[in-house]
A and B are shown apart, each in its own frame.
Chain A
């Protein structure tokens, strides 16, 4: 479950010997000399310490660039004591933390000390559980705890290396013995979780570093097992100047990585913008990205490095979207080089690049795609059919021949239910609850609904009612919608008159039936949301409205009162319901009261002539004279 590369510890020798020069001069005066009298600068040599630090840091950079989590690296600096620069904690797993620690350690100082103390500290470090290992409950702690120690040191001869390895093995055995003895029962749960783990396997890589011209009596040793498979030791002899490239090579098998050379990247020169030169950039990524290439290669071809040619992107084609398989993170092998920086910036700016296998015989075949996502670089392998290609047409499946889906409205719903990166738990649940509310009454097609097609007439009711709670004003504006509908109905208008012209023809049918549908749908909509008190108040209003208009012949009279009570148009008669005290035995009521209050008992409709006359004395037979004159 936990591979060896889950935990890696670097042990850096910080003894005085590492203060000596690597004897690999770097000349800064590369530019042509600037006339006579110009004193050339003396070349600079890095110390062995500088060489080992920068190589180890570069190793970490590659690991952490490609594995933001799950691959942990620690540093132990060893001189007279072991300086532990970081723990397995995620917050300390980054280069800045390491560099700050190295600043505090400082350059090599005089004094005694050696690599042994650091190596022992590193072995103890392997026994400490990583954050993911610590999350395992004790009964599941049967996982293999493995790790790797890379010790950069300099020894006199093979014997001292051998004794170093033996000390490491002894420490490991002793430590495992301690870890496997059961804890005294008195210790509580808190201590058992921090209890050291048994180390099941340790891969010890000893790198023996020497200055450029110094002789060494240490020889390379292939991986040898010690302690019955508990530890395997490997010794590599290396010049300080080659240390960085050695670790750059070692990181590949340690993390199953591979290098691709992207060749033929056209780049414009600053000095000569009209032409472009071609550059190569090496990128590192999981070796799995090459599986497709390797699968069809012979054993001989498979040992060669992978070179892929840049395929200049044309238009919008390509991109990681065309890649059906997995993507793997990518990091440049040489971050500091100009071509690498150009490629990285090109990708980070949102372009993507297709890579092809260079073919001698011509003919192109795209093999990989490079793209950035979320500020990280990725490589994906192209090619191969997918088992889901040539899908059945959606139009032939279930629901495929229905043409009036409310696609635009669902689009609006999707926009309202867009996800954002939030903090804290329960975000998903909140989002699902919101979707639940928004879809409680949601007809799929245009022809199955009237109220959602009425547009402005229903605003803002349809928008507000899906909210979790309603304010007083929101309830009022929803009531306003209901009342205006009631008004429309009383004026014998067709609800379909409000439909966009292209829909009007479709929802024909009798007026009463249309209104019945409107009220029915409204009830379904509001009832579905009647969780909060405000929603229930709205529902009561709606039920009032329905009870006023759903009664056929027997309720004609009461209907008339409601109509009068609720219509407010200048054309409507000034009548009994409208505050005319002399003609109405009932106290005047405003619209809201009329709707919310108990329905008044049915009463005889007032004399039409008096209603028309208002406050004046009603005239009897006003048309009598006209009727007489008309035939003439």
Chain B
């Protein structure tokens, strides 16, 4: 999740921190700097791909460093920040909302770390006014953590606490948190107002909310350890009876052509980053070759044999093979993520960087029906070589987008009109369209009966009679007979409204006699 460090630079942040140690003097601001550096250090090790921005605020807000993975840009900027005037949280949050919507849209979950001076700066009435004015919940999914740089026993903290609690609570109430898979943020108060205190608080925050996610990707006997980025969140929402947590082993169950798979609805997507196999050389199955004379004896690579084991990029990894094969074959892998939960693995390529491709895991909605066109996901299986499967993708749904297929979407007059005109068009083209005429008439009847629309049948009956009178003299006699027959059948009280009855064309031998003339 991209992170906003929202740093208070109001004048109160430059207050010196009382200390017994005379060699070093700290202000609240330098403590905040230490906390931010701790945070960036943690990310460097555990979440290098995280995007972070530094926004400063007092009565106005300013984007000091836009979203970046170059954490050093933030470190460099920290000592250069100017002091502001007074703490004004609601303005700052307004700005952050705008920044996030412009940059990430409304679908990407975001974390905000609010580092402030631990004082609301106003009295009880003013504090409640701020709470009223908070631009929360945001329209994007996210959570806010608060890190007040203040001694735990400071009375101003007690006073500001309700405000912070409100911010934390409101932030995760997003209307757009439809997946419900965002846990809430928290307030991380340092135990004591000094560097170790704030560093400890920040470390606690990192460990709770910036945990990297490791798991094992298995495909039969082949396996490799991978990191998923961003770390997946447990899935739980309205339609689900339970909360789903990703298992630590992802099992490939098989493969599908990309066009069969389509793009099922994913609740989140994650990069799959292979990790160096630790001790993989001890498993002969994976690295048989390294023990054989083939490599040792090869004169060209003989010198590089030593590096092979030390440089992880030169040790073969299943992930890279899988990515290459998925890309070449245009296929995706279906992965079991847990019980009753599936995902897909595909080679993914950013449009703007066509040559840099990577393995992407799409986590589907829990449940076997996450991709209806694949059928129930728990019933995907292999076809034995000697049997031919009749079922193919896509598994069609019964939906037809034409009012249930029975053509009774007559709520709008034009639809009814079109159906009646169709009958009359066929009626004018007798005898060629006799079969069509009766087919349409029966369809019309069926719809009219289910809607209790007997008036329509009477009307169509008269219309057919009128067509009969308007027939040109040259028309074959069969036309008049068929039209009269159909009109009578539509008005026959015994048969017209009986759903089990089907109108049949008048059995004639006129075609034969008229041809013999």
Interface residues of A (CB under 8 A from B): 1, 3, 26, 28, 30-31, 34, 38-39, 41-42, 44-47, 49-50, 53-55, 57-58, 61, 64-65, 68-70, 94-96, 99-100, 102-104, 106-108, 136, 140, 244-245, 248, 288, 291-292, 294-296, 320-327, 331-332, 334-338, 341, 344, 348, 373-377, 381, 383-402, 405-408, 410-411, 413-415, 417-428, 430-432, 434-445, 447-450, 506-510, 513-514, 516-517, 520-521, 524
Q: Is the Cβ of B229 less than 8 Å from the Cβ of A388?
A: yes
Q: Is the Cβ of A99 less than 8 Å from the Cβ of B406?
A: yes
Name B98-141 residues within 8 Å CB distance of A: 101, 103-108, 139-140
**Contacting residues, chain B, for A332 (C-beta < 8 A):** 401
Q: Is the Cβ of B49 less than 8 Å from the Cβ of A388?
A: yes
- Chain A proximity mask over B385-422: 1 for CB below 8 Å, otherwise 0: 00001011111111101111111111111111110110
Q: Is the Cβ of A427 less than 8 Å from the Cβ of B378?
A: yes
What is the CA–CA distance of A516 and B294 in the complex, to the nearest angstrom? 11
* A-B interface, 10 closest residue pairs, ranked by CB to CB distance from nearest: A374-B373, A384-B105, A448-B289, A399-B317, A427-B381, A95-B404, A336-B415, A439-B220, A244-B411, A421-B375
**Contacting residues, chain B, for A514 (C-beta < 8 A):** 293-294
With A28-B459, A244-B411, A291-B176 known as contacts, the answer to whether A99 contacts B350 (CB < 8 A) is no
**CB closest chain-B residue, reference A496:** B294
* Range of interface residues on B (Cβ < 8 Å): 35 or more
Q: Is the Cβ of A54 less than 8 Å from the Cβ of B379?
A: no
- Determine if B312 is an interface residue (Cβ-Cβ < 8 Å): yes
**Contacting residues, chain B, for A439 (C-beta < 8 A):** 219-222
Q: Is the Cβ of B406 less than 8 Å from the Cβ of A96?
A: yes
Q: Is the Cβ of A94 less than 8 Å from the Cβ of B398?
A: yes
Taking the closest CB of chain A, its distance from the CB of B8, in whole angstroms, is 26
**Contacting residues, chain B, for A31 (C-beta < 8 A):** 421
Taking the closest CB of chain B, its distance from the CB of A610, in whole angstroms, is 39
What is the CA–CA distance of A443 and B391 in the complex, to the nearest angstrom? 34
What is the CA–CA distance of A21 and B463 in the complex, to the nearest angstrom? 21
Q: Is the Cβ of B417 less than 8 Å from the Cβ of A374?
A: no
Q: Is the Cβ of B262 less than 8 Å from the Cβ of A428?
A: no
Q: Is the Cβ of A427 less than 8 Å from the Cβ of B452?
A: no
**Contacting residues, chain A, for B294 (C-beta < 8 A):** 447-448, 450, 506-507, 509, 514, 517
Q: Is the Cβ of A386 less than 8 Å from the Cβ of B452?
A: no
**Contacting residues, chain B, for A108 (C-beta < 8 A):** 452
- Determine if B455 is an interface residue (Cβ-Cβ < 8 Å): yes
17 inter-chain pairs at a CB distance below 8 angstroms, sorted by A residue, are A31-B421, A44-B459, A46-B453, A46-B455, A47-B452, A374-B372, A374-B397, A392-B358, A394-B274, A410-B322, A422-B379, A422-B383, A430-B381, A436-B220, A438-B220, A444-B317, A508-B298
Q: Is the Cβ of B107 less than 8 Å from the Cβ of A384?
A: yes
Q: Is the Cβ of B414 less than 8 Å from the Cβ of A388?
A: no
Pick the interface stretch among B152-160, B205-213, B263-271.
B263-271
Pick the interface stretch among B76-84, B250-258, B503-511.
B250-258
**CB closest chain-B residue, reference A30:** B417
Q: Is the Cβ of A387 less than 8 Å from the Cβ of B1?
A: yes
Q: Which of B265, B288, B297 contacts A449 (CB 8 A)?
A: B288
- Determine if B143 is an interface residue (Cβ-Cβ < 8 Å): no
Taking the closest CB of chain B, its distance from the CB of A436, in whole angstroms, is 4
**Contacting residues, chain A, for B175 (C-beta < 8 A):** 291
**CB closest chain-B residue, reference A512:** B293
Name B222-241 residues within 8 Å CB distance of A: 222, 224, 229-230, 238-239, 241
What is the CA–CA distance of A526 and B188 in the complex, to the nearest angstrom? 59
- Determine if B336 is an interface residue (Cβ-Cβ < 8 Å): yes
With A107-B452, A336-B414, A402-B315 known as contacts, the answer to whether A385 contacts B103 (CB < 8 A) is yes
Besides A44-B456, A335-B401, 14 more A-B contacts (Cβ < 8 Å) are A54-B410, A68-B397, A100-B450, A296-B101, A335-B403, A337-B415, A338-B418, A373-B373, A384-B108, A399-B321, A418-B256, A431-B382, A448-B316, A449-B289
Q: Is the Cβ of A398 less than 8 Å from the Cβ of B275?
A: yes
**CB closest chain-B residue, reference A407:** B324
Q: Is the Cβ of B293 less than 8 Å from the Cβ of A509?
A: yes
**Contacting residues, chain B, for A385 (C-beta < 8 A):** 103-105, 108
What is the CA–CA distance of A55 and B449 in the complex, to the nearest angstrom? 15
Q: Which of A30, A58, A389, A394 contacts B411 (CB 8 A)?
A: A58
What is the CA–CA distance of A516 and B221 in the complex, to the nearest angstrom? 25
What is the CA–CA distance of A288 and B139 in the complex, to the nearest angstrom? 11
What is the CA–CA distance of A513 and B105 in the complex, to the nearest angstrom? 61
- Determine if B353 is an interface residue (Cβ-Cβ < 8 Å): yes
**Contacting residues, chain A, for B402 (C-beta < 8 A):** 335-336, 341
Taking the closest CB of chain A, its distance from the CB of B395, in whole angstroms, is 5
Name B286-328 residues within 8 Å CB distance of A: 286-290, 292-295, 297-300, 311-326, 328
With A402-B320, A507-B294 known as contacts, the answer to whether A431 contacts B408 (CB < 8 A) is no
Q: Is the Cβ of B288 less than 8 Å from the Cβ of A448?
A: yes
Q: Is the Cβ of A422 less than 8 Å from the Cβ of B372?
A: no
Q: Is the Cβ of A398 less than 8 Å from the Cβ of B276?
A: yes
Q: Is the Cβ of A398 less than 8 Å from the Cβ of B293?
A: no
**CB closest chain-A residue, reference B391:** A421
What is the CA–CA distance of A397 and B117 in the complex, to the nearest angstrom? 42
Count chain A CB atoms within 10 A of each CB in B274, B289, B297, B374 and give the residue with the most: B289
